[in-house]
Structure 1
Amino acid sequence: MGDIPLGKSTMLDAMCSRELAPLFWRPVRLGITSAWWEHVPFAHWLVASIRPRSIVELGTHNGVSYSAFCEAVVREGLDTQCSAVDTWLGDEHAGRYSEGVYAELRTFHDSRYGSFSTLVRSTFDEALGYFPDCSIDLLHIDGLHTYDAVRHDFESWLPKLTDRAVVLFHDINVRANDFGVWKVWSELQERYPSFTFTHGHGLGVLAVGKAVPAAARQLCSIDDDSRVNSIRERFALVGERWNVEFRDAQRVAEIGRLALMVDDLNAQMQGRIAHADQLERALKEVNAIEANRTEEAASLRTQLAEVEAARKTLHDALQEQTERGDALAARVDELKAWGDDLLATNQTLRAELVDLRRAPERTDIQELRQELEQHKKQQDALHAEISGLRGRSRLG
């Protein structure tokens, strides 16, 4: 294949055109969360093409879109005054912001764009007094997305626009919840020349001024569907590259966060394993102590059984001795009564003996003496038996 001569109208010349360079500038806020990444190349191209003297953004959040405008000012060396208006508190659509969102953006912004840009921390209505009428060439509206809020923002800031003014509306392709940007956009399209990007939640370009710069005027006057689709597709493809990189950066950050979590979990796991080992050793010690206590308890139960058996034996023996003691006591009482009877009989016999001695004429004295002697022997025998019973009672 022969060489093709390169003329000024060749494809390579078009690709190297300075007018297209902004489409390929690398964004400066990569890694920051935003729904605006797919429109960053268009923001670069628009600022470089219309060269606005004043840019105002209503609703800045993390500053991805605003930084795209400011970066184009820096790269093109423009004499442009930029202002970002936001409370940096959030709203019902964007959610509530932490103070860290504003602090991080402020640090980035002041070091890079502080010489020509201002972050205005206020509501949109409060900020109206800071800008003269007919002073804004490029206005980006991206605040609360209800129909009433968007229409109010446009109408209240409309007097601030110059005859060169272009207005951007984000999220014109979102029809969910109470988003009403799409409705406001459809109404404004009937009044002003416009161009609609459908990718990245939708971005509307409205040529409000009567002397809009040529690039914006031409974009908003295209009526050839094939050209409209071609422009949409090409800006979407270029923008998707940064959206993909943003998602990749998020994934890398997430992987890093997860890696830290894994490291932390591994450290926790190692700590728990070490703790588990300590618990296992402690459990073994407890089990050993428990085994010893079980053996001691078994020994104590055996000893207790032996003590109980001995106690029962002693109780039975004591009961038997008590019964024997009671029987002996009864026998003693019985013998004592018998002894008392013998003693009384003996005393009677003695009295009779005395009487007999006083009466010598009686012939049976010898018999009385024998009877008395017999009673005495019985009494002695009785005393001996009582003594024996008492001795056995004491031994029992």
Structure 2
Amino acid sequence: MLFFEPDTERALAAVPYAAGHGTEEERLGAGSIYYVITCMARARVCVCLGSGGGFVPCLMRQAQMDLGIDMAETFLVDAVLPEAGYGGPEVAMGWIHEGSLLRQQFGDIVILSCLTGQAATGFFAKNATAIDYLHIDADHSFNAALADFETYLPLLKPSAFVTMHDTVTESIQNVLSTILLKYPKFQCIDLPDVGAGLAILRCKVLPSNFAGTDS
């Protein structure tokens, strides 16, 4: 099943660092997951921490547009610190360039050029933002990645989805273990063979009509 026209899929798959999300020419890899999660959550507010070339926020925004969600917004938070060495938008065709896919086709994505913690306690907190879908892919050190999760936790809706990239790394694996230990209400599925690894986190949510079972 194709979500987009082949030319659009090729353009998305060609975004810098998209291969880390398991893309192959006309195959979107984890991009399909980002798109579907946005659709399942009917996410009015999507937030992407860290950007690479802009692959993830483009998929989030495309899903919002396809669903026609009123007042929907996708936010990209990136301080653009190439010295950090995590792969930033300054490379050729990265989103920072006017000719990039993000600038040309998804120009309404809101870009916050600051550290992730500053965006959380500043812009998002001051605007009482309630996040439907959060993607964490900024500083991959244990302390920083865990801080991103915990800093944004109060901003998440009870039914929000969280994805975390690069789960093949030891630091992110340790973050996931810590989250599940400290926050047992969260469930996690880790897909280490999808690109550089992707985890999906969500609080346990029961249907409103759930009555339980005696068995």
TM range (shorter): 0.7 to 0.9
- Indicate which of 69, 72, 93 corresponds to 1:78: 69
- Indicate which of 30, 54, 62 corresponds to 1:63: 54
Aligned length in residues: 189
Cα deviation for residue 104 of structure 1 reads 1.9
Higher relative contact order (CA 8 A, sep 6+): 2
Query: Secondary structure of the equivalent of 1:131?
Result: helix
- Indicate which of 88, 91, 104 corresponds to 2:97: 104
Distance 1:105 1:145, change over 3 A: farther
- The aligned residue for residue 356 of structure 1 is none
Distance 1:106 1:189, change over 3 A: farther
- The aligned residue for residue 196 of structure 1 is 190
What CA RMSD, in Å, does the superposition of the two structures yield over aligned residues?
2.9
Cα deviation for residue 185 of structure 1 reads 0.8
Query: Secondary structure of the equivalent of 2:97?
Result: helix
- The aligned residue for residue 94 of structure 1 is 86
Post-superposition Cα deviations, 1:176-218, rounded to whole Å, max 9, x if no partner, equal xxxx111011222342112111211211100037479xxxxxx
- The aligned residue for residue 156 of structure 2 is 161
- The aligned residue for residue 202 of structure 2 is 207
- The aligned residue for residue 114 of structure 1 is 107
Cα deviation for residue 107 of structure 1 reads 5.2
Letter in 2 for 1:41: S
Letter in 1 for 2:16: T
TM (norm. structure 1) is 0.43
Distance 1:166 1:125, change over 3 A: same
- The aligned residue for residue 53 of structure 1 is 44
CA distance in 2 between partners of 1:96 and 1:42 (Å): 22
Find out whether 1:123 has 2:110 as its counterpart: no
Is contact 1:136–1:165 with CA below 8 Å preserved after alignment? yes
Letter in 2 for 1:130: F
- The aligned residue for residue 137 of structure 2 is 142
Is contact 1:93–1:145 with CA below 8 Å preserved after alignment? no
1:151-190 pair list within 5 angstroms: 151-175=146-170, 180-190=171-181
Query: Secondary structure of the equivalent of 1:78?
Result: coil
Post-superposition Cα deviations, 1:243-273, rounded to whole Å, max 9, x if no partner, equal xxxxxxxxxxxxxxxxxxxxxxxxxxxxxxx
Distance 1:112 1:95, change over 3 A: closer
Is contact 1:134–1:162 with CA below 8 Å preserved after alignment? no
Letter in 1 for 2:68: G
Rg comparison, structure with higher value? 1
Query: Secondary structure of the equivalent of 1:103?
Result: coil
Hey, which of these two has a bigger chunk of strand by percent?
2
- The aligned residue for residue 322 of structure 1 is none
- Indicate which of 2, 5, 14 corresponds to 1:31: 14
Post-superposition Cα deviations, 1:351-385, rounded to whole Å, max 9, x if no partner, equal xxxxxxxxxxxxxxxxxxxxxxxxxxxxxxxxxxx
Q: Which 5+ residue runs of structure 2 have no aligned equivalent? A: 24-28, 208-215
Is contact 2:97–2:103 with CA below 8 Å preserved after alignment? no
Cα deviation for residue 94 of structure 1 reads 1.3
Post-superposition Cα deviations, 1:324-362, rounded to whole Å, max 9, x if no partner, equal xxxxxxxxxxxxxxxxxxxxxxxxxxxxxxxxxxxxxxx
Query: Secondary structure of the equivalent of 2:13?
Result: coil
CA distance in 1 between partners of 2:98 and 2:136 (Å): 19
Segment of structure 1 superposing worse, 41-50 or 154-163: 41-50
Is contact 1:170–1:202 with CA below 8 Å preserved after alignment? yes
- The aligned residue for residue 312 of structure 1 is none
Is contact 2:129–2:155 with CA below 8 Å preserved after alignment? yes
Letter in 2 for 1:47: T
Cα deviation for residue 97 of structure 1 reads 5.8
- The aligned residue for residue 210 of structure 2 is none
1:5-20 pair list within 5 angstroms: none
% identity of equivalent residues:
22
Query: Secondary structure of the equivalent of 2:30?
Result: helix
Hey, which of these two has a bigger chunk of helix by percent?
1
TM (norm. structure 2) is 0.75
